[in-house]
Amino acid sequence: MLACEPYKQPPRKILPGTPSLAYTVHPGRGPHLALVHGFLSSSRQWTHNLGALSLVCRPVTIDLLGHGHSPAPPDEDQYHPSVYVNALDQIRQKLKIQHWFLCGYSLGAGITVRYAIKHSDHVLGHLFTNSSSGFATAKQQQAWREDAVHTAPKILQAGAAAIERIPVHPKHAKQLPQDIYDELLADAERLSPVGIANTLLATIPDASVRRIAHKNRRPALLCVGLKESRFAALKTWALQHMPYLDSVELNTGHAVNMQDSAAFNQAACNFIASHTP
């Protein structure tokens, strides 16, 4: 009698889908405002903005995959910006609202601008901060793709230690208010190596909206941190190629809403109030 090998369950095939993002609805009045943070950050980056924003809207802070309280799916495809757009609209539907505002910070802007263009019928207006990934050239995108192939495996292998070596990790921030710095550093302990690796592979290289920026049909505001000189050329490109886009200049670096929360709050509140029906 032949010996039978133990039955082995075949590997589960992970199909692309729409992951559920963690989000928090904060007190406020008026229309909802979706706030999407940047790479290696968290929803706590909006700590100094929520109070002012609540006077003109209902802030909804949202965590990227592998960040904060959001899951970290193993399927790389679920991290593509187009899937994020579906995930954002899933939140809108859960809130049972027809229209809202959006605000994207850095990498988050590549997602919120894309959403505003695809789902313009549901957008009252959108604002965003300096975003090198959101307005990256094709050459830069390719460079990120090639680098991610080497960097992602190192993150999966070394975990938190490798993530901390990334230049934009909160521990390297030098000009943040102390309370926000401490909160972001605490949230950084939640960063998932799987989530960060997949973000490098699938989100950042495809976050650029250059090919679709001309399709924007909703009021938009770019809050520019003037001290980040590398963004200057991208700002000029955005203002020249994105219809209905205005800008306001702030004397900050990349962390616009954190380094000068008062100026950012005023600009954001004025924009939201002026475009609220």
SS (H, E, C) 79-102: HCHHHHHHHHHHHHHHCCCCCEEE
Residue 9, pLDDT above cutoff 90? no
Per-residue pLDDT band for 53 (boundaries 50, 70, 90) equals very high
Which DSSP letter does residue 202 get? I
**What is the number of helices (H) and of strands (E) in the chain?**
10, 7
Residue with tokens 């991290």: 79
- Ordered DSSP codes for 142-186: HHHHHHHHHHHHHHHHHTHHHHHTSTTSGGG--SS-HHHHHHHHH
Task: Write down the pTM of the prediction.
Answer: 0.93
How would you classify the pairing of strands 58-62 and 23-25?
Answer: antiparallel
Q: Which amino acid is at 237?
A: W
pLDDT at residue 262 in the model: 98
Residue 154 to residue 162: CA distance in whole angstroms: 7
Q: How many CB atoms lie within 10 A of CB 7?
A: 6
How far apart, in whole angstroms, are the C-alpha atoms of residue 125 and residue 146?
35
Residue 175 CB coordination number (10 Å)? 12
Please name the helix (run of DSSP H) or strand (run of DSSP E) that holds residue 124, with its range, or none: strand 123-129
Residue 222 in contact with residue 147, Cβ under 8 Å? Answer: no
pLDDT digits (tens, 9 = 90+) for 150-178: 999 999 999 999 999 999 999 999 899 99
* SS3 (DSSP) at 9: coil
Provide the mean pLDDT of the chain.
94
Phi/psi at 47 (5° precision): -50, -45
| pLDDT higher than 60, residue 3 | no
How much of the chain, in percent, has pLDDT values that exceed 70?
94
Burial of 166 (0-12, 13-18, 19+ CB in 10 A): middle
The two three-digit tokens of residue 9, written as one number? 């369950």
Q: Strand pairing partners for 60?
A: 25, 34
Q: What is the largest CA-CA distance in the chain?
A: 82
pLDDT score, position 18: 86
List of domains in the chain: 23-274 (3.40.50.1820)
Instruction: Dump pLDDT digits (tens) for 180-238.
Output: 999 999 999 999 999 999 999 999 999 999 999 999 999 999 999 999 999 999 999 99
What pLDDT does residue 166 have? Answer: 96
- Two structure tokens written together for 100: 């809202």
- Output the six-digit token pair for 216: 């924007």
Alpha carbons 194 and 200: distance in angstroms, whole number: 10
Q: How many C-beta atoms lie closer than 10 Å to residue 162's C-beta? A: 18
